[in-house]
Chains A and B, each alone.
Chain A
């Protein structure tokens, strides 16, 4: 496939993107990423991993010290003005005008992106409906709760109908209910917009992203779908069984198939990259074991994340 064909399918391509602050602090290190059009792509990493710096470079707010990136085929170094017309961003902080109402905030951003007052209002009302902000449209932004502010912030980023939307930690600090509400709104954008979202919540990347790039200390350390990452990086399925009359022979036979089989807290724990549910149940029943209860847990991104960035998470805790 030619470079031009690739560019047509990609919304974002970074090539050796690097940002160094001062002499010693390398915030983003030689980052190569391809993000397809219509994809929800997550940059996952601990605090200070370089996620926000990457977004700032892609939004033409920071100049890279090395490499470059293209947004919808436009180079961030050569075409910042054109790129700014086709992207929008919801920054990590809520970034709203506090004394302006919900409606006024939306119309303001629409007009800044060149919409007429009428068109900005039309789109604002649609977004207010989509984000369920109807009851608060005349309220000043400084009276909104954290969850509503985040919804407003994302609506402000959508009003210009951007081709590429950057969401920097969109659910940071929100309660679980508000987070779930925002997740459903972000899912609604799948296929309609290219979304690059940064997060340090594993479950967020797992729940929302088509593909995930894990970055640590400015470097890309893993890339793939959630399933691919779990498989590639050795995530384990875990079956927990509560059973009566578990014989040594049953344990021995199980261990032949799944070596990581053990008893813990009077439960039978079986771990493997790929567990065959029926095989385990048939084997246990065949040995005369009475199964009272069992559960099966899929591998989580948590394991992968800790495996890759364990040192950084330790640093975060300190």
Chain B
């Protein structure tokens, strides 16, 4: 009950902020519209709607980093977190209340991208559902990164660091360019991070591949998921216990 009360509050904070809705949900739809229209003029594989939708969904999770970090850092700096820490809440109440509300938001982001994609001609198959097994863990990785930033940084630092990470996702995920074609250090960094694996895997699954065919990429993503959730929890507790 206490967990759901706090998670409900966090959810209201996100959904009542119009910037969250515009950036988190409006922006991916706009990007899909923009790049598919570019793709019509210059037919490149990555701008085909089936390829574009999962990539845009993953890029849009970059905003989850900003939202989760901003919520946490504002609660820290306004001492709302002090009020909560003085209350009889358990460790798991805190952690889950700052993670769970972002998952429905990530689902909304995915749904918005998918609906825009289908409207523009993307085929809707069982692979569309299977892609959730790749997309949701990536969303949780982003929430974990947000927790790390929100725990350790100030509001201004969060804005700067969050923007840098969004650029990194944009450049190294292969969403807007084929990393194999670019090659070199770009490709190496891209495939050290989880985002390019996620873009490749979700594109493959949406286009008919089985999840088992992308299991190596899935393991890569799940490993990052574990690392960033642990890092988020540890940095939260390190900061609040000081």
Contact with A along B1-12 (1 / 0, CB 8 A): 110011011001
Q: Which A residues are in CB contact (< 8 Å) with B160?
A: none
Which one, A25-33, A85-93, A297-305, A310-318, is touching chain B?
A85-93
Residue on B nearest A84 in the bound complex, by CB: B88
Total number of B residues with any Cβ neighbor in A under 8 Å: 23
List A83-115 residues whose CB lies under 8 Å from chain B. Answer: 84-85, 87-100, 104, 108-109, 111-114
Q: Which B residues are in CB contact (< 8 Å) with A90?
A: 83
Are A114 and B9 in contact, CB atoms less than 8 angstroms apart?
no
Are A95 and B12 in contact, CB atoms less than 8 angstroms apart?
no
Are B85 and A112 in contact, CB atoms less than 8 angstroms apart?
no
Which one, B74-82, B121-129, B174-182, is touching chain A?
B74-82
Are B88 and A81 in contact, CB atoms less than 8 angstroms apart?
yes
Of B13, B82, B87, B89, which contacts A97 at CB under 8 A? B13
Are A95 and B79 in contact, CB atoms less than 8 angstroms apart?
yes
A59 within 8 A of B: yes
Are B87 and A94 in contact, CB atoms less than 8 angstroms apart?
no
Q: How far is the CB of A78 from chain B (nearest CB, A)?
A: 16
A156 within 8 A of B: yes
Q: Which B residues are in CB contact (< 8 Å) with A85?
A: 88
How many contacting A-B pairs (Cβ < 8 A)? 76
Are A99 and B2 in contact, CB atoms less than 8 angstroms apart?
no
List B51-96 residues whose CB lies under 8 Å from chain A. Answer: 74, 77-80, 82-89
A61 within 8 A of B: yes
Q: Which A residues are in CB contact (< 8 Å) with B40?
A: none
Q: Which of A92, A111, A140 has the most CB of B within 10 A?
A: A111
Q: Which of B5, B6, B84 has the most CB of A within 10 A?
A: B5
List B11-64 residues whose CB lies under 8 Å from chain A. Answer: 12-13, 16-17
Are B9 and A108 in contact, CB atoms less than 8 angstroms apart?
yes
Can you show 28 pairs from A to B with CB atoms below 8 A apart? A56-B82, A60-B86, A61-B86, A85-B88, A87-B86, A88-B86, A89-B82, A89-B86, A91-B82, A93-B77, A93-B78, A93-B79, A95-B78, A95-B80, A96-B78, A97-B12, A98-B78, A99-B12, A99-B17, A104-B12, A108-B6, A109-B87, A111-B2, A111-B5, A114-B1, A114-B88, A156-B83, A157-B83
B interface residues with partner A (beta carbon < 8 Å): 1-2, 5-6, 8-9, 12-13, 16-17, 74, 77-80, 82-89
